[in-house]
Amino acid sequence: MLHIVLVEPEIPQNTGNIARVCVAAGARLHLVGPLGFSIDGKESRRAGMDYWDRLDLVTWNSWEEFLGTNGQSRFWFLSSKVERPFWDAQIQDGDMLVFGRESKGLPASLLAAHPESCLTIPMSEGTRSINLATSAGIVLYEGVRQLQFTGQMALAGGGTR
């Protein structure tokens, strides 16, 4: 299983869309607070459609609380402020794909502390960022592709195409 970790997400529609992608990919979603909205709000519920009941969701009050339980996991920190493309990472079962809040991304101190684990989605010059839900989907499904290729994951409907 892969894990999507959203640190202090701000936009409920993005979180709802990411929830749907996590259900489709069989991934666990971790929401690390404080959140900028209520997950019970209509915006996040509408974006997640009827997938919320099937979502493997864990909420955490803070990054410190999250690390206290998951600190031994392998992390990939996604940011537009780093150079290494996400497709260079060899994603493994159990990996944590960590995304920051929409307005600021992940803290610079976190990225500086883990330079070997920082990844980006390459973009054309002049592009600041890609929507959080789109970014999470891109990287999650690269992980799914890699795990299917290595035989660590199988999704309904067959293998790779």
Give the pLDDT score at 3.
98
Predicted TM-score (pTM) of the model is: 0.90
> Is omega for the bond preceding 34 within 30 degrees of 0, making it cis?
yes
- Domain ranges within the chain, ordered by starting residue: 3-149
Report the C-alpha gap between 7 and 16 in whole angstroms. Answer: 15
Give the pLDDT score at 10.
96
- For every one of its 161 residues, what pLDDT tens digit does the chain have, with 9 covering 90 and above? 999 999 999 999 999 999 999 999 999 999 999 998 888 777 766 766 678 889 999 999 999 999 999 999 999 999 999 999 999 999 999 999 999 999 999 999 999 999 999 999 999 999 988 999 999 999 999 999 999 876 666 666 654 43
Report the C-alpha gap between 130 and 57 in whole angstroms. Answer: 24
**Other CB atoms within 10 Å distance of the CB of residue 108:** 11
Give the pLDDT score at 106.
97
Contact 18, 136 (CB under 8 A): yes
SS3 content of the chain, % helix, strand, coil (to 5): 40, 20, 40
CATH number of 3-149: 3.40.1280.10
Give the pLDDT score at 72.
96
